[in-house]
Amino acid sequence: MTAAEILSMAAFAEGRHSQAFPSFGSERMGAPVVSFCRIDDRPIRTREPVMAPDALVIQDVTLLHQVDLFAGLSVEGFILINTSQSFDELGLGEFLRKFHRHRLVTCPATEVALQQLGRPLPNAALLGGFAALTRQITLDAIAAAIRERFGGDTGERNVAAATAAYGLVVREEEELARATPD
């Protein structure tokens, strides 16, 4: 939930409306824990879960083949997966062909977190990667939200993780642009 929450705070920092909430699905073993975030320039009224996401951030790859995580995701959508493997290595190569290739990135967020925080908590890094991928939110806003949420040294380290991941995704995007000019 924290990642969605921080994202919503970042959107708030930019003067936008935002709503973040956890899923209400059954939390049996194996069921994914999902959180949602909506960002809009107008007040957000609806309370339904996000049925047709514009972007998907997958924190835990072990869920990939257990549940249909991609249900409802538009072909224009963005996907950010926390992994140091490639899409092909994850077995997603074929499936992801229907999406825009430059909107799909992997990011070793857990590793980045281990480097910057010393702990395998990928949230901040994923948010940095998200900012770079979608450009829907600035890294500055993410940083501000992280600092407000965590404060002190922890906040700074998390900002560093976000920044590092941001840089990684930017580079990955650049490589993609060079590889598939369109």
Kindly tell me which of 77 and 108 has the beta carbon lying closer to another protein.
Answer: 77
Kindly tell me which of 48 and 182 has the beta carbon lying closer to another protein.
Answer: 48
Question: Could you tell me which residues are beta bridge partners of residue 105?
Answer: 80
Distance (Å, whole) CA 120 – CA 61: 14
Q: How far is the CB of 42 from another protein (least distance, A)?
A: 11
Report CA-CA distances (Å) from 39 to 27, 91, 161, 177. Answer: 26, 31, 23, 27
Is residue 8 close enough to count as binding another protein by CB under 8 A? yes
| Options 64-72, 83-91, 114-122, 157-165: segment touching another protein (CB under 8 A) | 64-72
Kindly tell me which of 5 and 172 has the beta carbon lying closer to another protein.
Answer: 5
Residues of this chain that interact with another protein (CB under 8 A) are: 1, 4-5, 8-9, 11-13, 17-26, 28-32, 34, 43-49, 51, 66-67, 72
